Chain A
Amino acid sequence: MSDDRLVELLGSLRYERLPRAADERVRRRLVEEWDARDAVGRGLLRALLPVAATLMLVLGATVATVTAPGDSRLYGARVAIEDAAATLYPDGPARAAYLLGLYEQRQAEAARLEAAGSAAAAAARAIEQRTLARLEALLAGPPDPETQAGAQPSASPSGSPSPTPSPTPSPSPAPTPTPSPAATSRPLPSSASPAIITTPRPTPAPTKSQSPLPTAKATPTPTFNTADPSPTAGPVLLKGQVKGADGLPAVGACVSLVIERCDTRTGAEGEYTRAAHAKTGQTVTVYAWRTDSTGRIIEKGLASAVVRGTLVELPDIELRPR
């Protein structure tokens, strides 16, 4: 058989066609397959539609809840969710950082509602205070080894604000009532632990803390800053008291880290507690002022302190006429 004959024979195959009967069988089968495929698709869609709708509903409700403003009915649910989420942070510093963020956010929400004259402001403020108390309890819970050791900067090069409990007895000042005037001269909230109250700290001299504005800054010692090799910002609680020019507690005075933005007000004894982010060795300055009925600042003052632990007690702020 020659190649030409083979090619001719092969070419004859090109006239082959799928027989009509077979073609019709194939078509019927394809139609059935297509319909079955569509039915599966429709069935799947029908099955998935309620699931998708439910998911959308849950997602929408979740988003609405977690973004609910303070005057929304969902705010309580949002607060509960956010509070519960704190348990997701097992270690103290991470939880404190989370609570601090929460506190600042709730504080801002309460301030916003107050500014708007909303009836929900009081409730928002109560929530804010509850958050603060929780944060305070967390930060004050375990004794700070650094403050226990007498807050000697050179003795604690790490400067870590970690609230790890340390049962090591302190060789320096015993946890007896401190002679420090800053720690004893003002009332402290009941939530503050004895360790904090009695912790001896290198507080600035009383004369400096009560001096007029230009001299009230307690400048950090350079040795303290250099003693901390890797300071990282962490949550700290600032506590202090504000007094008027007459030496009496200044009730309802504004306290802030930024002047002219009132985010905390002093209590009945002129005391204040405020959360902030700060590094160990950093100097924090707290401003306080009072305004008249028009909102003009009539008295102001400030106090500074070096951060040595998670609780920073500032010298008393004396308000002086502007």
Chain B
Amino acid sequence: MRQGGSGGIAGQAIRLTLDEGGIGGDAALVAAARSGDAAAFGELYERHRDAVYRFCLARTGSAHEAEDLTSEVFVKALRAIARYQERGVPFVSYLYRIARNAAIDRSRSRRPTLPVEDAASLDSGQDVEREAIQGTDRATLLAALARLKPDHREVLVLRFVEGLSGPEAALMLGRTEGAVRILQHRAMQRLRCAFAEVEAEAGGGGRR
């Protein structure tokens, strides 16, 4: 299990996860899991756990909510693994879809947005490098991401958090590369606006 580590190692780990998590690598594990191999499902969990967590974190802006959502995503995937059908997209995009739907279900039952003060208190791990980053900016970013439309948020997460290339992101999102480029451009514009809004709100709150 990979937990934290230096940026370089973590970066390599992410690339490794993405490469292993390709269609071919996951297909065999998914097939084994479907036939009742618990270890195969365990390996799928190992491969995609952190990616799903980050996706959920960007979606909810809250570490606690992201943990719960991650748990829910894998439980749902386990229950549905027998019905899973290979459609030429990576298994992780299936997990993202579950996460998206689970997050929507949750947002219907409670307010999804997180106050900036709560996000700022986020403490998710032992990464020294991460802790060096300005906590306020990160918290503002999470709050801003939570305000974006789902497809804007997803393209940003895939391209800049998960580090996928344009074609890889296009495959995951089921869009053309050109459409992904346009989507990414608009998403950055929206993020910039949202970030400014959150900063302004936080500044106003601090003055009160």
Contact = CB atoms under 8 A, between A and B. Distances in A.
A26 B125 contact: no
Contacts of B1: 23
B32 interface: no
B125 A19 contact: yes
Interface stretch (A10-18, A192-200, A224-232, A250-258): A10-18
Contact of B141 (A6, A15, A20, A38): A6
B91 interface: no
A3 B193 CA distance: 11
A9 B14 contact: no
B161 interface: yes
Interface residues of B, number: 49
Nearest to A25: B71
A43 to B, nearest CB: 15
Interface residues of A, number: 28
A1 interface: yes
Interface in B134-164: 137-138, 141-142, 156-157, 160-163
Nearest to B132: A12
Contacts, number: 107
Contacts of A11: 160-161, 163
Contacts of A82: none
A13 B60 CA distance: 13
Contacts of A56: none
Interface in B72-121: 74-75, 78-79
Contacts of A7: 160
Contacts of A30: 41-42, 45, 74-75, 78
18 contacts: A7-B160, A10-B141, A11-B161, A12-B130, A12-B133, A13-B161, A14-B14, A14-B161, A15-B129, A16-B53, A16-B124, A17-B127, A19-B67, A19-B124, A19-B125, A33-B78, A34-B38, A37-B78
Leading 4 A-B pairs by shortest Cβ distance: A10-B160, A22-B67, A18-B53, A26-B71
Interface of A: 1, 3, 6-7, 9-20, 22-23, 25-27, 29-30, 33-34, 37-38, 41
Given A10-B141, A16-B130, A17-B53, 10 more contacts: A1-B199, A9-B138, A11-B161, A13-B138, A13-B142, A16-B50, A26-B67, A33-B78, A34-B78, A37-B79
